Amino acid sequence: MKTIRQTCFKSAKRVVVKIGSNVLTKDNGLNLEVVSSISRQICQLIDSGLELVFVSSGAMAAGLKKIGLPRRPDEIPKRQAVAAVGQAGLIMEYEKAFEQYGKKVAQILLTGDGLHQRKRYLNARNTLNTLLDWKIVPVINENDTVSVEEIKFGDNDNLSAMIALLMDADLLINLTDIDGLYNKDPRKNQDAELISFVSSIRKDIEKFASDIPGTLGTGGMLTKIKAARKVNTAGIPMIIAKGSKKDILLRLFAGEEHGTFFVPKKQKMANRKCWIGFTVKPKGMISIDDGAARAILNNGKSLLPIGITNVEGEFGIGSPVEFKNGTGDVLGTGLVNYNSAEIRKIMGLKTSEIKECLGEKPYDEVIHRDNLSITGECFD
């Protein structure tokens, strides 16, 4: 009988593969053997019928070597300049490597705010779909040159999760410099053990992981777990595996079990709900009582004013706003039908009392269930 992970690999048609800086690096520059090996495996998988989107870190690593710097500079403009130099070299090496197998690559550099806006989000999806139709390999990285804190994806683990959601992928593969997730940071604990299967990401799983990356990485294991949590919630499985292991991608698709597999929720989330839940940047927070939380989480209801106990932040109609329960757990995000000042006035009221309070009642719901995405961990 096939295991769940074998079934996921067998049935996957559209896959996102992400590779981290440490795997791609050798002697402080790009490891061309790894570039060549990963490119060959990706081409083989595409030729076998898979649609594949590739997210590659490594611009900073490539830039350091080219400029002759011993390590990452601390100043942001210098880091951005290093990444700008390195990205050109990175994509050139991929062009050369993929060309050997008759494939073209396309460079896609994204910022967080590019995907926060629905129109740009859909544009990015259309472009990527066209490239996949043309059998051209999209090679995606964060646009480090312009990415300041407010518009950053932050790390490519998160970016790869956003791409998996954007493209409605069947699987996300995260290739790093270690076999997978260990139950403690293996750099500090010799007795750390590999976890090969995570059926559900609870808070204890996040505790296993350190947020300290390797010399060139960003975010360490913690950002990978956060990425897994997002895609799993949306119904997409994820695997963390060692990118330098010989033919790792081909072996995974041949049914071999390597790395750590994160089991997704059974139900796939609709693409628009993924965008609301994971991609847009929330503009405020609404606290709700237990009754409202139950109605939303268990019975798929909309959020009505009567269940609202507090509003944080200033936001307009249509804004994405998070909502949390009485104990402070964030349960999800939704697009609001009223602005923050109006919600403050009508919170705690029955829907029949909205008109008297505001002078009009355009909607019964503060967040309609069609515009509401449940992403918190308290919903099974």
Annotated binding residues, written as ranges, equal 18, 57, 144, 156, 176-177, 218-224
Nearest one of 327, 329, 307, 322 to 379, comparing CA atoms: 329
- Residues paired with residue 171 on neighbouring β-strands, in sequence order: 15
Instruction: Tell me if 156 contacts ligand VHF by CB under 6 A.
Output: yes
Instruction: Tell me if 141 contacts ligand VHF by CB under 6 A.
Output: yes
43, two tokens: 């081409």
Least distance between ligand ADP and beta carbon 366 (Å): 39
Rounded-to-integer distance, Cα 321 and Cα 331, Å: 11
Q: Is 51 helix (H, G, I), strand (E, B) or coil?
A: strand
Least distance between ligand VHF and beta carbon 120 (Å): 19
Q: Which does 247 bind (CB under 5 to 8 A by kind): ligand ADP, ligand VHF, none?
A: none
Backbone phi, psi, residue 173, to 5°: -110, 125
Q: Which residues are annotated as a binding site for substrate?
A: 57, 144, 156
Residues 176-205 that bind ligand VHF (CB under 6 A): none
> From the centroid of its chain, how far is CA 200?
17
Residues 54-83 that bind ligand ADP (CB under 6 A): 57
Q: How many residues bind ligand ADP (CB under 6 A)?
A: 24
Instruction: Tell me if 201 contacts ligand ADP by CB under 6 A.
Output: no
Nearest one of 306, 310, 304 to 349, comparing CA atoms: 306
Instruction: Tell me if 279 contacts ligand VHF by CB under 6 A.
Output: no
CB-wise, 141 or 340, nearer to ligand VHF?
141
Backbone phi, psi, residue 76, to 5°: -60, -50
Instruction: Tell me if 86 contacts ligand ADP by CB under 6 A.
Output: no
Residues 6+ apart with CB under 8 A from 163: 16, 53, 55, 128, 140, 169
- Which helix (H) or strand (E) element contains residue 30? strand 29-30
The piece of 4-12, 33-41, 123-131, 176-184 that touches ligand ADP (CB under 6 A) is 176-184
Q: Residue from 186, 330, 345, 361 that binds ligand ADP (CB under 6 A)?
A: 186
Residues 207-266 that bind ligand ADP (CB under 6 A): 208-210, 213-214, 217-221
Q: Which does 303 bind (CB under 5 to 8 A by kind): ligand VHF, ligand ADP, none?
A: none
Neighbouring CB atoms inside 10 A of 273's CB total: 21
Residues 38-57 that bind ligand ADP (CB under 6 A): 57
Q: What track of x and - describes contact with ligand VHF for positions 200 through 229 (by CB under 6 A)? A: -------------x---xxx----------
Instruction: Tell me if 243 contacts ligand VHF by CB under 6 A.
Output: no
Q: Which residues are annotated as a binding site for ATP?
A: 18, 176-177, 218-224
CB-wise, 217 or 307, nearer to ligand ADP?
217
Side-chain-side CA neighbours of 340 within 13 Å: the count stands at 18
- In the chain, the amino acid numbered 61 is A
Rounded-to-integer distance, Cα 39 and Cα 91, Å: 12
